[in-house]
Amino acid sequence: MEDIPVPQVPNPTPVEAPVIATAQSSAPAPVVPMLCPQCHFVVKPEYYYCPNCGKSLHEAPLSTSIMTQAWIYGFSIVLPIICYLAVSYWPGIKYLLSEDENAKQIGIVACILLAVSSIITFWLAIVWIQQAVQSGVSSVGNLGGY
Ligand SMILES: [Zn+2]
């Protein structure tokens, strides 16, 4: 008898495939204890900070409470007003436009100091934003690794 067309391969494979997949994906994650990357203290995955050395394990979720919202919204409203008041009360421009030579010199020095301070503030803001973006990227990478 010729039983050549009998092999029924399609049946076993769909059964095996999901078993292997679930065994690979679910088994190692709970077994391997999570260690602090700094002091190798055993920590729980839900910890935001290592209880031994205090290292930040992953970012705590941002607070969305009413008080936090009020603070953020209030700060957002006040910040430009403070900047406007600071600029409009800055007396340097009056000194710079003054007829008096001494007053004019004071105005020039004030302008130079304002320019230098503005550049430093601008540079610090860029560094701060870059650090914030980098820490955000690295924390996403850490979560993926764990
Ligand atoms: Zn630690």
pLDDT in tens, 97-133: 999 999 999 999 999 999 999 999 999 999 999 998 8
pLDDT of 11 higher than 50: yes
The predicted model scores a pTM of 0.48
Write the burial class of residue 65 (CB in 10 Å: 0-12 exposed, 13-18 middle, 19+ buried): exposed
Give the tokens for residue 142.
């850490």
Cα 31 to ligand 1 centroid, rounded to whole Å? 20
C-alpha to C-alpha distances, 139 to 30, 47, 56, 70, nearest whole angstrom:
21, 14, 10, 27
Q: What percent of the chain lies above the pLDDT cut of 90?
A: 47
Give the pLDDT confidence score for residue 146 in this predicted structure. 47
Instruction: Give the tens place of pLDDT for each residue, 22-43.
Output: 445 554 555 677 899 899 999 9
Binned at pLDDT 50, 70 and 90, residue 139 comes out as low
Q: Tokens at residue 71, please?
A: 């603070």
Using the mean position of ligand 1's atoms as its centre, give its distance from the Cα of residue 28 in Å.
22
Q: Please report which helix (H) or strand (E) contains residue 34, including its range.
A: strand 34-35
DSSP E strands, 53-114 = none
CA of 25 to the centre of ligand 1 (A): 27
Domain definitions of the chain by residue range: 30-60, 66-139
